[in-house]
Amino acid sequence: MAKERRGADIVIEVLQTEGVDLVFGVPGGAIMEVYDALFSSDIVHILARHEQGAGHMAEGYAAASGKVGVAFSTSGPGATNLVTAIADAYMDSRPLVFITGQVPTGLIGNDAFQEVDMVGITRPITKHNFLVKSVEELPLKLRQAFYIARTGRPGPVVVDIPKDVTQHKSTVDIPSDREVVESLPGYKPHYKGNIQQIKKAVELIVASQRPVLYVGGGAVYADAQKELVELAEMLQIPVTTTTQGKGAFPETHPLSLQMLGMHGTYYANMAVYHADLLIAVGARFDDRVTGKIDEFAPEAKIIHIDIDPASISKTINVDVPIVGDAKLILKKLLAELKKRKVKVLYPVQRKKWLEQIEYWKKNYPLSYDWSDEVIKPQYVIEVIYKITKGEATIVPGVGQHQMWAAMFYRYSYPRQFINSGGLGTMGFGLPAGIGAKLGRPDREVWVIDGDGSFQMTMQEIITAVQYKVPIKVAILNNGFLGMVRQWQELFYERRYSETCFGVQPDFVKLIEAMGGVAFRATKPDEVPQVIQKAREINDRPVVIDFWVDKEENVFPMVPAGKSYRDMIVKKPKGKPKADTKYLVG
Amino acid sequence: MADTIGRDEGLKVVTAPKFRKIPKGKVRKHVIDLIVQNEHGVLSRIVTLIAGKGYNIESLSVGETHEKGLSRMTIVVEGDQRVIEQVVKQLRRLISTIKVRDLTDLPHIERELLLVKVNLGSQRAKDEVFRLAQIFGGKIVDVSPSSYTIELSGDGSKISTFIELVKPFGIKEMIRTGKIALKRDFSEAEEEG
């Protein structure tokens, strides 16, 4: 029996048991007791300026470090402010535990001050959630939350703790790992792939002439880079990744096709379109990847490796599903291939296939029109890539800049590109970048943001200043909600309804007022200098306000719901010259 | 409008794309059997999941089992094979569910329970309703000068038939439960009435 202590002390005790040394959050009435216990513990707390920021910071931390991220908030508005981050973590399968305060048990259901049914609200956007009804069940529920969050397909878990539960005292023990597993009879993540299915996959791989590997976030979480490279090299299979899968296979590798889908490279999409075998590893056939399902990989047999059985046959019929951990399955697959001393059955065809892909790469590379007058946003990314030698962790917001960051930087390591891929949360970049830097202090972190995205969570610069988090932020400032504007240009006859910011803050003054360092670049030749200058500052956040071409578009593009055949690779002709004049004020 | 490029790059042209899309199947009612951990909010977790995915629950019954902490549910959902497969997979994914299976095409026993209060306008009505209840194996569980309350269990069609037959006498009030179902152990078992 443990010694008697408050529920709040138990919360801290469990966090320490789980190896948590850093949490994010904002205190408030219902969670005060926990903050009181935190006060005398070794756990570092990052005080965000908004709970959404705390949530995204925890996401960035989890995504960069691979550990479970933890965020605290109080009840009511504190908790609802976390909801966007919870939904974001759910869509991108990030391991997080959100601990929210709740009004005392006796007041639940009474419309008490700052009361909201957090378990009800977050039910569809969590892997699981708990309302802890007594201090006796608190340690088990908390440990279950961590176990559920990080195992199987990772995801967010919310633990809602009423204030009186944190105040009551108890001698209840912290349950052991085994007790935690045994207390969840309905939860048994499946890691080992079925060997019969793996053998079927081997047959398909050997017999294919034009294979493509399609790799998603599951391969990153499973840490399967070594196995992927081995498989690709062994059988000369080109590899394309989703945004979540970036870095699971190095994009600097000759077999890399980079990203596929709506804003994928021409060669990745063409390769998938013409492939006779698609090997999906930890990817879920999202609509932004497939476009029109009827014409997605029309000639291909499909192998689908995924840890979540519910991902199989959700949007698309596949030939060989294999449920389990990507790394374990790839290992078995490789062992099977080696055991049978497998060689490519059609070497001539394979050679032709790789030549075809080279041809596409050479003739339709990622490109943009250069300008001496105005900064092209893609150029900024290219310069950051060169100057950081491809080693930085890139955390974008959501919009055009996110796609440029995905296209024009080449990612070599897993967890190097951290973005809101599923939910598409504008404002994700800055707080997630702060979290990523705290999760991996050894990495240079660049937040690539848009002016629209940045303004959604920009108060977190103060948090970065307070904790001396030396992130670099590049705002690709075009004065527009750029991605929406692009769709308006292409599909709504340039009727720019509410996408142009009439008034913008002076970002340099704003950042300086918050205690950060800021630069501005308005001409292409200033770009390398300011990036160098930003890299020299290592005790606070640096923001660079790049005034970029206002009406630059993200291409290639597969319009929503269309086939890869309908890919737009260039700007439509006859478009009026972009207005590069810029107003601040 | 746009400069579009495709399929002209040396490989054969794909003229008839194979259909990858999961085809829509025949819509019918499916009986899903669940064992769940009997804990706070488990019912709403299941209902929210099914409703949130856009599927419609026809009926749902829930009760405790002989094992402590476990409840059994029978859910009737309408949909084609693809929809039902997704429902089953999504339900399995919930932490609180221990066992989920689609009983529709497995040998199983289904029951519903009916309580119906029928008007008794005349002696003839009294005799007739009494006789119908006997034929159907129902029980008269409450009697008043103007009504009989009949309890009847059986499969859905038996219950519906009985309701149709007593309707002409005037139904004052009625309630029928959702389906409950159990899988048969021996698949060769005799036809269920």
Check whether A487 has a pLDDT greater than 50: yes
- pLDDT of B11: 41
Task: Please indicate whether, in this complex, the C-beta atoms of A310 and B97 are within 8 angstroms of each other.
Answer: no
Give the CATH fold of the A5-182 domain.
Answer: Rossmann fold (3.40.50)
- pLDDT of A345: 77
Q: Are residues B32 and B102 in the same domain?
A: yes
Q: Are residues B42 and B59 in the same domain?
A: yes
- State how far residue B113 is from chain A, nearest Cα, in angstroms: 30
Give, for all 193 residues of chain B, the pLDDT tens digit. Answer: 333 344 344 444 444 445 567 777 888 999 999 999 998 889 999 999 988 878 889 999 999 999 999 999 999 999 888 889 889 999 999 999 999 999 999 999 999 999 999 999 889 999 999 999 999 999 999 999 999 999 999 999 999 999 999 999 999 999 999 999 999 987 654 444 3
Beta strands B171-176 and B108-119, pairing class = antiparallel
Contacts 24+ apart (CB under 8 A), A17-23: A17/A143, A17/A174, A18/A68, A18/A143, A18/A146, A19/A67, A20/A67, A20/A68, A20/A70, A22/A46, A22/A61, A22/A70, A22/A438, A22/A439, A23/A58, A23/A70, A23/A71, A23/A72
Range of the domain at B137: 109-183
Architecture of domain A377-558: 3-Layer(aba) Sandwich (3.40)
Q: Which residue of chain A has the CA closest to B40?
A: A131
Q: Are residues B75 and B144 in the same domain?
A: no
A336 touches chain B (CB under 8 A): no
Last residue of some domain: B106, B128, B152?
B106
Q: Say how far apart CA A40 and CA A190 lie, in whole Å.
A: 40
- pLDDT of B94: 94
Q: Are residues B78 and B114 in the same domain?
A: no
Q: Say how far apart CA A574 and CA A577 lie, in whole Å.
A: 9
Establish if B6 belongs to a structural domain.
no
DSSP string covering A352-389, please?
HHHHHHHHHHHHS-S-----SSSB-HHHHHHHHHHHTT
A42 touches chain B (CB under 8 A): no
Structure tokens at A511: 């950042």
Residues of A identified as active-site: 51, 113-114, 163, 483
Q: Which residue of chain B has the CA closest to A157?
A: B95
Last residue of some domain: B106, B136, B171?
B106
Task: Please indicate whether, in this complex, the C-beta atoms of B17 and A133 are within 8 angstroms of each other.
Answer: no
Q: Are residues B149 and B92 in the same domain?
A: no
Q: Which residue of chain A has the CA closest to B100?
A: A186
Q: ω before A556 within 30° of 0 (cis)?
A: yes
Architecture of domain A195-363: 3-Layer(aba) Sandwich (3.40)
Establish if B32 belongs to a structural domain.
yes
The CATH number of the domain where B68 resides is what?
Answer: 3.30.70.260
B13 touches chain A (CB under 8 A): no
A295 touches chain B (CB under 8 A): yes
Establish if B16 belongs to a structural domain.
no
Cα dihedral value A106, A73, A83, A158, nearest 10 = -70
Establish if B85 belongs to a structural domain.
yes
| Contact criterion met (CB below 8 Å) for A248 and A226 | no
A266 touches chain B (CB under 8 A): yes
Task: Please indicate whether, in this complex, the C-beta atoms of B52 and A310 are within 8 angstroms of each other.
Answer: no
Check whether A131 has a pLDDT greater than 90: yes
Beta strands A211-215 and A542-547, pairing class = unpaired
- pLDDT of B6: 40
> In total, how many domains does chain B have?
2
| Contact criterion met (CB below 8 Å) for A53 and A181 | no
Specify the 3-state DSSP secondary structure of A38: helix
Establish if B100 belongs to a structural domain.
yes
Q: Which of A296, A356, A565 sits opposite B10 (nearest CB)?
A: A356
Cα A181 to Cα A19, A93, A140, A204, distances in angstroms: 18, 21, 10, 37
CA angle A102, B43, B64 (to 5 degrees): 115
Check whether A309 has a pLDDT greater than 90: yes
φ and ψ at residue A256, rounded to 5 degrees: -75, 135
φ and ψ at residue A214, rounded to 5 degrees: -120, 110
Maximum alpha-carbon separation in chain B: 89
Establish if B12 belongs to a structural domain.
no
Establish if B188 belongs to a structural domain.
no
- pLDDT of B108: 94
- pLDDT of A293: 85
The average pLDDT across A347-371 equals 91
B24 touches chain A (CB under 8 A): no
The average pLDDT across A56-67 equals 98
How confident is the model over A250-285, as pLDDT tens digits?
999 999 999 999 999 999 999 999 999 999 999 999
Q: Say how far apart CA A7 and CA A137 lie, in whole Å.
A: 10
Its pTM surpasses 0.90: yes
Establish if B9 belongs to a structural domain.
no
The CATH number of the domain where B159 resides is what?
Answer: 3.30.70.1150
Q: Are residues B102 and B32 in the same domain?
A: yes
How confident is the model over A507-525, as pLDDT tens digits?
999 999 999 999 999 999 9
Q: Which residue of chain A has the CA closest to B18?
A: A298
Q: Are residues B139 and B98 in the same domain?
A: no
The amino acid that residue B28 corresponds to is R
- pLDDT of A575: 42
Q: Are residues B101 and B32 in the same domain?
A: yes
Average pLDDT, chain A: 94
CB pairs under 8 A between A and B: 106
Mutate to test the interface with B, among A118, A187, A284, A562 (most CBs of B within 10 A): A187
- State how far residue A315 is from chain B, nearest Cα, in angstroms: 7
B41 touches chain A (CB under 8 A): yes
- State how far residue A574 is from chain B, nearest Cα, in angstroms: 10
From-to residues of CATH 3.40.50.1220 in chain A: 195-363
- pLDDT of B181: 96
From-to residues of CATH 3.40.50.970 in chain A: 5-182, 377-558
Q: Say how far apart CA A356 and CA A524 lie, in whole Å.
A: 35
Q: Are residues B116 and B132 in the same domain?
A: yes
Closest by CA to B94, choosing from A99, A191, A124, is A124
Cα A258 to Cα A243, A406, A446, A470, distances in angstroms: 9, 9, 20, 29
The average pLDDT across A121-146 equals 97
Closest by CA to B94, choosing from A150, A147, A160, A126, is A126
The average pLDDT across A380-393 equals 98
Q: Say how far apart CA A441 and CA A43 lie, in whole Å.
A: 17
Percent of chain A residues topping a pLDDT of 90: 89
